[in-house]
């Protein structure tokens, strides 16, 4: 069996599986010549969502996330759903919130996804003294813990303002957790249907397309991860 015939067979099976998973949805297939990442990035310009696996057939087995998945997630023109970890029919949608433009869009995506799945939304804001908003240049010893926690609580509440009224059918749980964001989100992903995050947080280097928290979560999350980029 030649490579093209094999590819056509894979696409045919994918269409069958898609229509079986979502009756009433019309699925189509396209066999395109070209390197995977550039082709997928081109398709993302006219898509509302791009769905990819965490690792392809090539690459190194020790890698947690393949190069195509990483490159596509960093540069796609639409949200990217990376299918990894365990798919669950139960559990909440979890969204990571840090006050960045990307996380604001992530909240919108997550609430709509929770409503579609008929499940609850857990909004997690993890913080510590070293990357709390407005305190980056201060020494840890001069932090006022109570005031700092209050500021972080306001950030979380403001990010969710109005969504409960717009989607009353979605139960929204707020979690303010002190700790490293990546570790907290990976822990919450172990019992979630879906984890939603922005592509970049409020810290780090502006030239990076994917922040360190996002990259770590993509490598280690226990459920599918949706990455939403700010335009």
The predicted-structure confidence for 114-148, as pLDDT tens digits, reads as follows: 999 999 999 999 987 655 554 444 445 455 666 78
The predicted-structure confidence for 145-201, as pLDDT tens digits, reads as follows: 667 888 899 999 999 999 999 999 999 999 999 999 999 999 999 999 999 999 865
100 vs 214, more confident:
214
Report domain extents, the chain: 32-231
Task: Write down the mean pLDDT value for the chain.
Answer: 85
Q: For residue 199, what pLDDT is reported?
A: 86
Rounded-to-integer distance, Cα 194 and Cα 217, Å:
12
The residue with tokens 């609580």 is: 153
Q: What are the C-alpha distances in Å from 183 to residues 43, 52, 81? A: 32, 23, 20
8 Å CB contact between 120 and 221 = no
206 has a pLDDT exceeding 50: no
Q: For residue 128, what pLDDT is reported?
A: 77
In the chain, what's the furthest Cα-to-Cα distance? 68
pTM score, whole prediction = 0.85
Q: What is the 3-state secondary structure (H, E, C) of the chain?
A: CCHHHHHHHHHHHHHHHHHHHCCCCCCCCCCCCCCHHHHHHHHHCCCCCEEEECCCCCCCCCCCCCHHHHHHHHHCCCCEEEECCCCCCCCCEEEECCCCHHHHHHHHHHHHHHHHHCCCEEEEEEECCCCCCCCCCCCHHHCCHHHHHHHHHHHHHHHHCCHHHHCCCCCEEEEEEECCHHHHHHHHHCCCCEEEEECCCCCCCCCCCCCHHHHHHHHHCCCCEEEECCC
* Class of the domain covering 32-231: alpha beta
Confidence of residue 61 (pLDDT cuts 50, 70, 90): very low
């Amino acid at each position: 069996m030649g490579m093209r015939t094999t590819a056509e067979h894979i696409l045919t099976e994918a269409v069958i599986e898609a229509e079986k998973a979502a009756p009433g949805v019309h699925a189509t297939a396209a066999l395109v010549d070209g390197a995977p990442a550039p082709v997928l990035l081109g398709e993302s310009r006219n898509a509302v969502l791009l769905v990819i696996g965490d690792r392809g057939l090539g690459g190194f087995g020790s890698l947690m996330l393949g190069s195509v998945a990483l490159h596509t997630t960093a540069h796609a023109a639409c949200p990217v759903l990376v299918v990894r970890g365990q798919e669950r029919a139960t559990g909440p949608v979890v969204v990571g919130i840090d006050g960045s433009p990307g996380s604001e869009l992530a909240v919108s995506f997550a609430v709509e996804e929770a409503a579609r799945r008929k499940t609850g939304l857990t909004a997690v804001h993890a913080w510590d003294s070293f990357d709390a908003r407005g305190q980056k240049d201060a020494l840890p010893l001069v932090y006022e813990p109570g005031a700092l926690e209050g500021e972080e609580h306001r950030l979380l509440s403001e990010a969710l303002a109005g969504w409960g009224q717009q989607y009353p059918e979605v139960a929204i749980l707020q979690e303010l957790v002190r700790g490293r964001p990546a570790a907290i989100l990976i822990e919450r992903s172990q019992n979630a249907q879906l984890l939603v995050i922005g592509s970049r947080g409020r810290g780090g280097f502006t030239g990076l397309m994917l922040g360190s928290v996002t990259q770590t979560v993509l490598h280690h999350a226990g459920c599918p991860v949706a990455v939403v980029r700010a335009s």
